[in-house]
Amino acid sequence: MTDYRAGRTYTLTGEYYNEAGARGVLADPTGGVSLTITYGSGGPTVAGPFVYAGSSTPTSGEIYRQAIGTYAIDWLIPYSAASGVYVLTWTFTDGPFGTPYPAVENVAIIGGGLTPPVAPDTGFWTGTLTGGGVTIPLGGVDENGVGWALLKVGGWDSPDTVGGVAQYGGDHGGIPGPQYYTPRMITLTVQANAPTQAARDEARAMMQQAAGINDLGLFTYDEPVPKQAAVRRSGRVPETYPTLCQCRFSVLLVAPDPRKYSTQTKQVTCSPTGPVLGIAAPLTAPVALPAQPPAPVVALENDGRFETRPRVLISGPITGPGLYNQTTGQLVSFSTLALAAGDSLVVDFQAKLGYLNGSPRFADLASSWWTLAPGTTQVVLQGAAATGSQMTVTYQDAWM
C-alpha cells in the first residue's frame, strides 16, 4: 500500500490488459476510462468520477493516456483530507457489449501534511507593503494562494530624535538647542505560508521586489485609524524556513519622512468670484462703489496629531500669487510671477519649492514656509486674480 500526504500532488496510474493473468498484454479499451476515489471501501466519494476525454498530456481534472493501455491523472489531495485508507476504483469499458472492468487499489493518506493557503491569524490589524509594482497583502492571501502573516511591527511607536543640549560654561545645566525627528526605522516580521515550495519561492521573490532599494514604496498599517508611510529597504532581508512551505522575513525599512499619514487624501478647491470691478465717469454723488470680490480662502482640517505639509496648485490667470496662513501670519509669495490662463504653479511645502509648469521656481526670499498644525488652518490665496484662477490644496492628516 502506498502512503500519500495531504496537500501534495500525486500521479495516479491505471493499466488495462486485454486478458487476465500472465497472458494479458497492455491494450487500449474500446470504451471509456474513469476513476472514482472513495474514503474506505463503500465509503463516501471524495473525488471524481474523473474520465478520459482523449488527452495525452496532463490536464487538470481529467484522465490522460500515457502509453498503450496506461492511463493517469494528477491528483492534488485536499489539505482537509482526513487520515485513513482511500480506495481508487478504475473502470475500463471494453468489448462489443461495453463491459465495464473495474480495478481497485488502496492508498493510505496522511492528513494535515502542509500548511494550507488560508488567511493567517494576524490579530486585529492587517496591512499592505507596496513597491516595485507588486502589493503584498499582509494578513491576507495573494493570487498564488500564499497566506501572508504580519507577525510583528517595530518602530511604529516613535522615531528617534537628533539635537542636544549645550552645557553651560562654569554653571549647572545647559542651553537646549533645536531638536528634530530622524527618519523612521520600521522592522516588519512577516511569514509567508505557501501551498507548495514553488509558491514559497515566488513569495520570496515578491518580498525582494516589494522591499525596494531605491524608489520609495508604501507600508500601510490597518490600525483602527489606518496609517501609512513611504518607505524603502535598509540592508538585507534575512529569511528563515519554519517548514518547507513557509518562509519568515525580517524586513528593515526606512521612512525618510517620519510622519505617519492618513490613507485618505484631502483636497480643497476655491476660486475668486470674479475680476476686480471698476467705475467710470461721469459720477453723481453719492457714489456706491461695487464690492471687491473676496480673496479665495479655505479652511483646512488636520485631524491628526502632528503638523502636515500640503501641496498647493495655483492656476492662472493671477499676478504675484501668495499663500497666506491666517492662523500663523506666515506668507509664501511669488511676487514677480505672472501666471497666464493655462499656467500652473505647484507649491510643495515639504520640498519648500515651487514648480512653474513643471520647472522649479523659488519663492521670495522673505517667504516663511508654514505647516498645517492639528486642527483648523485658514489659508488665503493672495494676488491680482482674474476669472478662471483657482487654488487647490491637497494634504493628508499626520501623526508622529
Nearest one of 381, 294, 374 to 332, comparing CA atoms? 381
Q: Which residue ranges make up each domain of the chain?
A: 2-110, 127-157+181-262, 266-276+295-399
Segment among 16-25, 44-53, 373-382 with least mean pLDDT: 16-25
- Computed over every residue of the chain, the mean pLDDT equals 86
Residue 256: phi, psi to the nearest 5?
Answer: -55, -40
3-state secondary structure 146-170: CEEEEEEEECCCCCCEEEEEEECCC
| CA atoms of 220 and 212, how far apart (whole Å) | 15
- What amino acid is encoded at 159 in this protein? P
The hierarchical CATH code for the domain 127-157+181-262 is 2.40.30.200
Mean pLDDT of 236-244: 90
Which residue, chain included where needed, has cell 532581508? 237
For every residue of 189-212, DSSP letters joined together read EEEEE-SSHHHHHHHHHHHHHHS-
pLDDT band at 41; cut points 50, 70, 90? confident
Segment among 51-65, 200-214, 219-233 with least mean pLDDT: 51-65
pLDDT of 122 higher than 60: no
Q: What is the pLDDT of residue 245?
A: 84
Question: Between 386 and 220, whose confidence is greater?
Answer: 220
Nearest one of 57, 75, 78 to 66, comparing CA atoms? 57
Segment among 38-42, 181-185, 346-350, 355-359 with least mean pLDDT: 38-42
Q: The domain 2-110 is classified under which CATH number: 2.40.128.260, 3.20.20.10, 3.10.310.10, 2.60.40.10?
A: 2.60.40.10
147-186 burial code (b ≥16 CB/10 A, e <16): bbbbeebebbeebeeeeeeeeeeeeeeeeeeeeebeebbb
| CA atoms of 382 and 335, how far apart (whole Å) | 10
Which residue, chain included where needed, has cell 468670484? 273
Q: Tens of pLDDT along 325-376?
A: 999 999 999 999 999 999 999 999 999 999 999 999 999 999 999 999 999 9
Mean pLDDT of 30-47: 86
Which residue, chain included where needed, has cell 493557503? 117
Contact indicator for 183, 254 with CB cutoff of 8 Å? yes
Contact indicator for 5, 113 with CB cutoff of 8 Å? yes
358: Cβ contacts below 8 Å, ≥ 6 apart:
none
Q: What is the pLDDT of residue 286?
A: 52
Q: What is the pLDDT of residue 293?
A: 45
Contact indicator for 249, 191 with CB cutoff of 8 Å? yes
Residue 335: phi, psi to the nearest 5?
Answer: -65, -25
Mean pLDDT of 96-103: 89
Segment among 71-85, 240-254, 285-299, 351-365 with least mean pLDDT: 285-299
* C-alpha cell recorded at residue 235: 540592508
Q: The domain 266-276+295-399 is classified under which CATH number: 3.30.750.200, 3.90.226.10, 2.40.10.10, 2.60.120.860?
A: 2.60.120.860
pLDDT band at 196; cut points 50, 70, 90? confident
**Same CATH fold assignment for domains 127-157+181-262 and 266-276+295-399:** no
Nearest one of 188, 196, 205 to 139, comparing CA atoms? 188
pLDDT band at 294; cut points 50, 70, 90? low
- Report DSSP state, residue 340: P
Residue 84 CB neighbour total at 10 angstroms: 13
Q: Tens of pLDDT along 249-288?
A: 999 999 999 999 999 999 999 886 543 323 333 434 454 4
pLDDT of 121 higher than 70: no
